[in-house]
Amino acid sequence: MAKKMHDTPMLDELETGPWPSFVTGLKRLANDKDYMVDLMGQLETSYRTKKGYWKGGTVGVFGYGGGVIPRFTELKDENDKPMFPDAAEFHTLRVQPPAGMHYTTEVLRKMCDIWEKHGSGLIAFHGQSGDIMFQGATTAKVQDAFDEINEMGFDLGGAGPAVRTSMSCVGAARCEQSCYDEAKAHRQVINTFLDDIHRPALPYKFKFKFSGCPNDCMNSIQRSDMAVIGTWRDNMRTDEGLARKWFDAHGMNELVNNVIARCPTKTIMLKEIKDVARGDKISSVKISDTHALEIDNANCVRCMHCINVMTGALAKGTDTGATILIGGKRTLKIGDLMGTVVVPFLPLKNDEDYDALVELGQKVIDFFAENALEHERTGEMIERIGLVNFLEGIGVEIDPNMVATPRTNPYVRTDGWDDEVAKINARKAAA
């Protein structure tokens, strides 16, 4: 570092608390790079004035229409010269992560070396965008950095009004709760829509996310336009040996207070063994010589709490697949939206099932491209045109299991309900 550090009293204050501070990392990088010295100067100015001083522009790499987030400083002196010239340009490269976010230490070290060479050295992994964020490069260095990252086998992610970088959990590689091959679904979708990622042509962003079970570790229900969440449609499995072991270790209070009482639909009941019900939708497991858990699977909403607490003693079923939800997003025009169920269950057992998933994604994106307003997310479009019109537009038949929000009014009309249920059952039988 040849340049003297700027005074940064407000940034320094962020290092005084009990938790690690990003400022410490910036200072460490500034020891070797004048680039980061001036970045800290501009950042201190923003903290002092409570204003941001970055503006966008057009920066990219050959053959790509997105993937680079341009930032040019607006902090100028009376001669229109940058007040912090070494950080006058601070562009970010969005790079797609591998499915399931699997890396080797060798790969991570190569990434760090490339960015130390061509950029600021500042890297952020996997925000809600899903991308690896290589933060801080001049216009002249963007192409060079991308070329070396690309030689490693990595590609730019999405930016702007385009299909964005997808995310998938570690899933089947390491997690016993996985209900489908998340990496396969992720890879197939990305390979299909790669052109839509690199060449923005949509009204606004469109995100896929893949979670292997209802725990939804990817937060896909809230943060993606098309969420693929693993589920099952048969009964929960039980293991008496593990259930007894758990009960011996934790006791009745923990069972009642942290398992039974927390079931949102009162699906789980504690009963004496002689009183346990029998039926096609009933699972049960003995926890002692006198008591057992009775599980009414017909009312289970797959919240996963009991399975998370009593892992192994209680487990997901074997008839697994995924629920597809459309329209999740964070705050924009009409506030936060959770995804709406459009396909209650998709098996995802063979190549044809995964092809059906990709085909549905294509229909949703095509409809979104043709019918959404500029800067409008998929969920906002559905709110505007109505769910029925959307479902008809993508060729999906209405099903009683499609849920937007829980019903709040107990008084519902049931005129013709039996007839409609009969029609749906007939369609399913013919399929």
- Express each pLDDT in 350-383 by its tens digit: 999 999 999 999 999 999 999 999 999 999 999 9
Domain boundaries, the chain: 9-151, 178-226+321-430, 237-315
Smallest CA-to-CA distance from 236 within 187, 174, 299 is with: 299
Tokens coding 168: 């998938």
Whether the predicted pLDDT of 431 surpasses 80: no
Q: Which helix (H) or strand (E) is 411 found in, with range?
A: none
- pLDDT band per the 50, 70, 90 thresholds, residue 415: confident
- Mean pLDDT of all residues in 324-336: 84
Distance CA 120, CA 30 (A): 9
Fold match, 9-151 / 237-315? yes
Whether the predicted pLDDT of 127 surpasses 60: yes
* CATH 3.30.413.10, applies to 178-226+321-430: yes
Q: Which CATH number fits domain 9-151: 3.50.50.60, 3.30.70.2500, 3.30.365.10, 3.40.309.10?
A: 3.30.70.2500
166, 168, 173, 174: CA torsion to nearest 10: 150
* CATH 3.30.70.20, applies to 237-315: yes
- Express each pLDDT in 157-179 by its tens digit: 988 899 998 899 999 989 999 99
Q: What is the pTM of this model?
A: 0.87
Q: Which helix (H) or strand (E) is 234 found in, with range?
A: none
- pLDDT band per the 50, 70, 90 thresholds, residue 306: very high
Q: Which helix (H) or strand (E) is 66 found in, with range?
A: none
What size, in residues, is the chain? 431
